[in-house]
A = this chain, B = another copy of it.
Amino acid sequence: MKETVLILGADGYIGWNLMMYLGRKNQGLVVGIDNYSRRKLVNKVKGDSLIPIASMKTRIEAYKEVFKKNNLRFFAFDITNSHLLRKAIKKIRPTIIINLAQMPSAPYSMKNLGYAAWTIKNNVIGNLNLLWIMREICPKAHLIKMGTMGEYGTPNVDIPKGFFELKYKGRKDWVPFPRQAGSFYHWAKVTESQHTNFACKIWGLRATDMMQGVVYGVTTEESQKDSRLAGRFDYDGVFGTAINRFVVQSMCGIPMTPFGKGGQIRGFLNIKDSLKCFELYINNPPKEGEYRVFNQLVEQHRTVTQLADMVKQIGKKKGYNSSIKKIKNPRIENEKHYYNAETTKLTKLGLIASDFRKEIEKMFDDLKPYIHRVNKESIIPKITWK
């Protein structure tokens, strides 16, 4: 791979790991941009990465030392400032742009009006700036944008790959699948997807939109080489997500907490599989003017309660005695529903997924040195949808 890669949101859970992963694969530069908002917001809700993380400067120096490559760069600024973003893109001239620069928490966006409005402005305007600036400066670059499976909600039918043949009253058309998001954060993602599709249509940009499932996992091949290379790991009630939180709860002897009936089903994938997907998209780019959607997940057959149970069994093997306690659902969502997302496109590109059980086992080992750092107070979700 020889590309000039630009990653927006390079300091996040996926962002930093992707910097290293693509840095190693790529002959060209991998440039990151971030405003450090993730670090600030997690601290604001009294959370903290369970694994201590270094500054981007230290990380990049450690990468150079460990991998003997000097192809990572980083700039700290906010991409909702279109002037700074334009200047950076003019200078970098990326061939690949990956937009991960989004506030990623559903509860955060539901806390109050101020947080909801900030989420929409931050996520939607950042992506809008990028689209207009790509049109102006690098219309042929390949945009890879982070969407979410949460855009679709939980319809009572299979979830196609973004588009489907609509049949209505004897006529038909090929149209976007209806979106039914469950938080203002998820709705912001819907808006970004719609804007991106529209920009491809009118300006001939090309984009890969990843409807990603919930990512779990602690380390990647790169991050485990040196403690200065560690990626962040959130487990709090605002920025933590299902499996990651369950493993932490299990290790701390706190009951795992499915919401409500616990029959919710979501798509999941390991962080290493997420990184592989980016590589596959880069090596198999869309055509000019093409907007394509991948449902990016590999595991979707267990309910949240069944997942908790699986983590419980694995914990037991590892010597932890954990329990499950359903709590009142802070969200408004279907607690028992049909779920089946089509993922054949990923398989066709060549994704071979990690072993689900083994990866969860590995999480227990990865987190062991840090589990004493847990702040138990921050685990229970306090933000409600009502």
Where the two chains meet, the residues of A that have a C-beta atom closer than 8 Å to any C-beta of B are: 82, 112-114, 116-117, 120-121, 124-125, 128-129, 132-133, 155-158, 160, 164, 166-169, 171-173, 175-181, 184, 187, 190-191, 194-195, 198, 201-203, 332, 338, 385-386
What is the bound-complex CA distance between A273 and B72, given in angstroms? 61
How long is the Cα–Cα vector from A164 to B112 in the complex, in angstroms?
32
Assess whether A155 is in contact with B128, with CB atoms less than 8 Å apart.
no
Q: Could you tell me the distance between the alpha carbons of A376 and B112 in the complex, rounded to whole angstroms?
A: 48
When chains A and B are docked, how far (Å) is the Cα of A244 from the Cα of B310? 65
In the complex, the answer to whether B157 meets A129 with C-beta atoms within 8 Å is no
Beyond A120-B124, A121-B125, A195-B184, whether A160 also contacts B171 by CB under 8 A is no
Bound-state CA distance A214–B160 (Å) is 34
- A182 CB to closest chain B CB, in angstroms? 8
Using known A-B contacts A116-B132, A132-B113, A175-B178, determine if residue A198 contacts B191 with beta carbons closer than 8 Å.
Answer: no
Q: Are B195 and A187 in contact (CB under 8 A)?
A: yes
Q: Are A385 and B82 in contact (CB under 8 A)?
A: no
- Beta-carbon nearest neighbor of A125 in chain B: B117
Instruction: List the B residue with the shortest CB-CB distance to A187.
Output: B194
A339 CB to closest chain B CB (Å) equals 11
Q: Which residues of B contact A201 (CB under 8 A)?
A: 332
